[in-house]
Structure 1
Amino acid sequence: MVIRHFLKWIGSAKVAERAAAATALARAFLDHQLPFEDRCEAEAALTLLLDDPSPKVRAALAEALSMSSQAPAQIVAALAADQHDVAACILVRSPLLGDAELIDRVASSDGPIQALVASRPYVSMSLSAAIAEVGELEACLALVSNDGADIAQLTFRRLAERHGHEAALRERLLTNPRLPGDCRHTLLVKLGEALREAPLVRALMGARRAERVTREACMRASLTLIEHTRTHEHAALVEHLRLRGELTASFLVRAVAHGKVDFFGSVLMALSSQSETRVRAVLASGRDVAVTALFRAAGLAAPMHGVFLRALKVWREVAAGRRVAGAQEVSWLMLREIESTAETQAGSTARGELAALVKSIHLEVLRENARCHALAIAAA
């Protein structure tokens, strides 16, 4: 009887009155205090409110039903497909919306709606993948800022690929502890590309010099990245660099000179197809013959073998506590190793290029160490 009066009254009531009545009726329905017949009538009345011309009434209905798992499914589905102001609380809170409905909503909506879905207390791995694949920047920002989002490594990579050129997303991703190392490298490359194409940089340096400077800066940043990449992620980072064509001899020489021996071991495992146990044992305590054989299996050029051997011996002593040394000393010893090796006609050109590379690394380290020393003196 009450529901019949409600349906007759609602046609002439004001918007504020209808909104209040929608809230009261929804709460009464959820309280389970109504008899079965009245509950059926109440559900019919709530369904009728979906056709109310005022979004304020529909928003009040959505607010009242948004957190309940007992709300009528057809009403929740309709409210979730309504305009932004109405659908917001349903999309963010409702436990009745499954991944299938949410993924469909993401695929058919714009950034603000997608961002609401990405802000849910829990976002599943499949829903995160859908947002990363089709979501606009606003939604992707909301996703990576959501601690309740279950984001797969592949999803992180897709986010970096699609929106890595956006400074806001780069910042959010780089501060996320779950971000894989190869994604961090992708973002570094994106940053380098953005700097290289900046009109101010090109005007000050010229296109060719800007490209060279940003490439060298990205290489140095990649070495720093290795320090902050967990060991179990090295394999993914190695594969990423190899696919991008950046796993070059120059990069490996720099890595070894700076003491990235664990990463170098991961590179040797990938290139030689030998087991982790074997590679780690050879690098840690293997004889020169075994280490050289490993280098050959990995396809490293012969002129580089002696340089890598010399550096590895120093880093072994440092790890064992028998020596104190850094990149400055190691790069100098690598250079001396090249100079002391008798040149051959076939290898003279390659050895000369290697010497130039190691010398440039040594000079870079000297400059950086002197800069740090000067700053320390100034701060004292």
Structure 2
Amino acid sequence: MQQCHTALCLSVYILTFVLGFPANILAFYTFCKKLREKAQPIDILLLNLTISDLLFLLFLPFKMQEVLNEMIWNLPDALCPLSGFIFYLTIYTSTFFLTAISVERYLGVAFPIQHSLKRRPVYAIGASIFFWVFSFIHLSIVFIIPLIGGNGPIPKDTTNETNSGNTTTLSDVVTVERKNVCYENFTDQQLEVLLPVRLELCIVLFCVPLLISCFCYINFIRILLSLQHINRRKRLRAIGMALGTLVVFALCFGPYNVSHIVGFIQGRSPLWRDKALLCSTFNACLDPFIFYFSSSAMRGSVSSVLQGVKRGLPRRLVSCMVCRLPAVLKISSSHSNNSNSDKDKERKQESTSAI
């Protein structure tokens, strides 16, 4: 069974949740407001990416609890496949929506006139529905695998004698252990189905989207560099967005999908697979940076929040100072009274000594 280092995994999960949840809530509010005003295909794709991240973050506390319990699952059994399904589903829906955003950006600069004439929000809605359904069908393997050969082959010549004289077979021990962990300790029958499916997920849901994104963003950058009439600041921001998205795509999802290839070759899940999954976790708090560079509405929301914080902070300081002023005055008056009484005592002592 894979053992995720408690301090490492818990730190990554907490950091991702603390940074990602408020940022994605702000993004969700921004894109919903933008769609009510004027729906654009890019905003629909970004909204779906935000929903994917929020689903991931909502189920992340279950992973935290699992890590705290040393990977032992003591929550209701029904939550195990559901949390695993949502966890893996949102990873691959994110790759699809990041790829769709790259295609939208590339078409906008490569074929500006034709793309603007054929640009319809309904196309983005249709693509989003397809991505969700396609990923849902592929990731349904999470519900199917536990139903395949649950106990699996167990060595027959191994038994343990208990103190009471009862015999406990290794099959009973492994069966109990499998019931106490979530989506781990697969049998040989389960691995025969799971490993090829993981390889297919890597190729179809990661490698193909990555190649499409690389093609779109490399040509996107090449075209932007040749267009000198575009404002330099806007051009650099768009290039930064493209490069940042590719880096996030490769670093967050690459290690986890490489583990699928290694697992297929070795015939078992790699021991470092849980560490690779941590990289995918970071994506939920890195996507808001992509939103910031991709959407002017998101940049406006961030600036509004920052201005509100700047305006609210001085007011709070002033109100705190006003609230504390009477206490300060009271303390200072008591200090002055004490100092006056001390001076009177000194004067009396001086007069008595003079007499």
TM-score (norm 1): 0.22
More relative contact order in 1 or in 2 (CA 8 Å, sep 6+)?
2
TM-score (norm 2): 0.23
